Structure 1
Amino acid sequence: MTMTRTLGRSGIEVGAIGMGCWAIGGPLWGDDGQPFGWGEVADDESIATIHEALDLGVTLFDTASNYGAGHSERVLGRALAGRRDRAVITTKFGNRCDEATRRATGVDASPAYAVASLEGSLRRLGTDHVDLYLLHLNDLPAAAALDLVDTLEGLVAQGKIRGYGWSTDHPASARAFAEAGPHCVAIEHDESVLNDNPEVLAVCDAFELASLNRGPLAMGLLTAATRTVGVDDVRGRAPEWLVWFRDGRPAPEWSARVAAIRTALTSDGRTLAQGALGWLLARSPRTVPIPGCRTVAQARENLATLALGPLPADAFAEVERLLADLRAAPAGDAGAR
């Protein structure tokens, strides 16, 4: 039987692990040549991966209007044609881009853009509603985010979205949004065995919100396939917030932490990725990891965790002991965002 979780106070039931769809969007560029995508992708393989994920128990698919300048939504829409009733779609707004040039063109937190962006997303996804609509601006001041609540509630009333939330790592922001929005049902935040965020998890507990975990595999660092990446990959020229990679290679200080906990994460025969996902499932009953998958093989490995279940209590305790020792070590390691 597939392991499931409830999507916060919405009552929507989803598979306990979702699929992140950033990587299947392909390239996106900033004006200065900064890559914001994961390089070139094969759409047929992406569609096969989505179908495999559905068959293995995934119901939640997480995308955004700017992933590949809308390409991720288009591919997801193609893959879910005739299968929409099996999927819970999360998409996001706030980052503008140009579809023709695949360029990021700035941010927009206005209520009018929240409505316009949703219309574009619905068109690309080929659906009449999305299940979860997330504000995609991590550091937006809470006052500006609260200006969106009435508009988002209106979209719920119109049946265009079933619930909404914020992709933010800041507990005060998450709390303010949850307090103001009756249909705020989830917070998406960076969460992994390398970067726990107990403050945001506490907000999710207090307001009965789902915790959607982006970066559950630390952008690939918590997999056996980590390697040097190309210049069209966001990890190849990592922005300041992306601490796991430097110059296209895994950052040595974080690779050392992975090495220190690898045995504990894999002690019951799991792969490293399955151990990292199992840690998240053991961390809280609210967590829904959303690892990115670009190939059928990646989907099969990641989603085998649904059958393996949460990391066993003794292994979880050992990981926590090891991490406590590492955190107590002398300063010098880079901190995660």
Structure 2
Amino acid sequence: MDTTTRVLGRSGIEVSALGLGCWAIGGPWHAGSQPLGWGEVDDEESIRAIRRGLDLGVTFFDTADVYGTGHSERVLARALAGHRDEVVIATKWGNTYDEATRQMTGTDGSTGYLRRAVTASLRRLETDRIDLYQLHLGDLPLDRAAELLGTLEELVAEGHIRAYGWSTDLPDRAEAWGAGGAHCTAIQHSFSVLQDSAEVLAVCERHDLASINRGPLAMGLLSGKFTETSTLDANDVRGIAPAWLDWFRNGRPTPEFLARVAAVREVLTADGRTLAQGALGWLWARSGRTVPIPGFRTVAQVEENVGALAHGPLRADQVAEVHRLLASV
């Protein structure tokens, strides 16, 4: 069985089993004084990293219009120039922003904004279609989300998008679109060794949807580079962590999550894997639908993460041991 590729749910679109998450390469952006980016970035290094991923077989790239208030989409377009037909591009909409000030300004879950947003993303991505278009408002009320399905189906029929999905951690939201959206093919949700998502994964299994895993390395905790004395820059979303970000507090890794990393390190690094590669292998072992999308800012990070493909999923006994160890932390 080929463990290096996966299918995006019922769309039939084949992708590499590992994608690249393009949040960090958007650079700094804020909501008021709250940083939402990962600090300063080098666009040329971002482009080299994306192209290195291409060279190593990565075909799936996930971004959002709001990352860097448009900057991530623009950088991705530069990096993929001349390779559009070789790759699958996913982006998201629903947050509003000001590109000039790099400020997120609010949210808009209306059908009118959906049409404007897809047009703007197509322009920034320099493409005529978006392969996977994802709602970025995880808790949008179900009645308002249902109103979007007709417009999304129209966008599929018009050729602007090939399929759509919802970036949400709420099983009822995933269920609603999985059951009701003809061309809904994926749910993006937070999923890692440190933050299970069994309920949303079950929805994906039930409705033939891809499970796209954001935060597969817990925003760096599963890279192994952080200790209790590590500090994050105030221009980094992890340095002044918003309420929804559990893994960091007061500019430092959260002690209870560091303890969980320590508990599973030996199992995850067995068989010659790095800690990050073991964490990715755990996700692949959980389901044939999972597509982790670790973030990156450097060529070296892409090379390490893509190196996990050579090892493939963890064995069933290793997955069971991880669960046993975490239950005792």
TM bracket, shorter-chain basis: over 0.9
1:5 maps onto 2:3 in alignment: no
**1:118 aligned partner:** 118
Note the alpha carbon deviations across 1:150-200, whole angstroms, 9 max, x for none.
000000000000000100001111001111110000000000011111111
**1:35 aligned partner:** 35
After the TM superposition, which residues 1-337 of structure 1 pair with which residues of structure 2 at under 5 Å, given as runs? Answer: 3-31=4-32, 33-226=33-226, 227-326=230-329
Note the alpha carbon deviations across 1:249-308, whole angstroms, 9 max, x for none.
111111011001100111212111001001001011000000001100000000001111
TM-score scaled by structure 1? 0.95
Q: Matched residues in 2 for 1:68 and 1:269: separation?
A: 36
Partner AA of 2:154 in structure 1: G
Q: Matched residues in 2 for 1:249 and 1:144: separation?
A: 37
Q: Which runs of 4+ in 1 moved over 3 A?
A: none
SS of the aligned residue for 2:121 comes to: helix
Given that 1:24 and 1:72 are in contact with CA atoms closer than 8 Å, whether structure 2 keeps it comes out as yes
Partner AA of 2:223 in structure 1: T
Q: Matched residues in 1 for 2:231 and 2:44: separation?
A: 25
Q: Matched residues in 1 for 2:188 and 2:174: separation?
A: 9
* Larger mean Cα displacement after TM superposition, 240-249 or 19-28: 240-249
Given that 2:15 and 2:88 are in contact with CA atoms closer than 8 Å, whether structure 1 keeps it comes out as yes
Q: Matched residues in 1 for 2:10 and 2:3: separation?
A: 21
Identity %: 64
Note the alpha carbon deviations across 1:21-63, whole angstroms, 9 max, x for none.
00000011112x0001001100000000000111112111000
SS of the aligned residue for 2:282 comes to: helix
Given that 2:3 and 2:312 are in contact with CA atoms closer than 8 Å, whether structure 1 keeps it comes out as no
- The size of the alignment, in residue pairs, is 325
Deviation at 1:2, TM superposition (A): 6.9
SS of the aligned residue for 1:69 comes to: coil
Q: Matched residues in 1 for 2:267 and 2:311: separation?
A: 15
TM-score scaled by structure 2? 0.97
Q: Matched residues in 2 for 1:4 and 1:185: separation?
A: 16
Q: Matched residues in 2 for 1:296 and 1:249: separation?
A: 25
Q: Matched residues in 2 for 1:73 and 1:193: separation?
A: 29
Partner AA of 1:315 in structure 2: Q
Given that 1:2 and 1:15 are in contact with CA atoms closer than 8 Å, whether structure 2 keeps it comes out as no
Q: Matched residues in 2 for 1:282 and 1:311: separation?
A: 6
Are the structure 2 counterparts of residues 2 and 179 from structure 1 closer, same or farther at C-alpha, using a change threshold of 3 Å? closer
Partner AA of 1:314 in structure 2: D
Partner AA of 2:11 in structure 1: S
* Larger mean Cα displacement after TM superposition, 49-58 or 226-235: 226-235
SS of the aligned residue for 1:186 comes to: strand
Given that 1:142 and 1:177 are in contact with CA atoms closer than 8 Å, whether structure 2 keeps it comes out as no
Partner AA of 2:139 in structure 1: D
SS of the aligned residue for 2:211 comes to: strand
Partner AA of 1:203 in structure 2: V
Gaps of 5+ in 2: none
Given that 1:27 and 1:68 are in contact with CA atoms closer than 8 Å, whether structure 2 keeps it comes out as yes
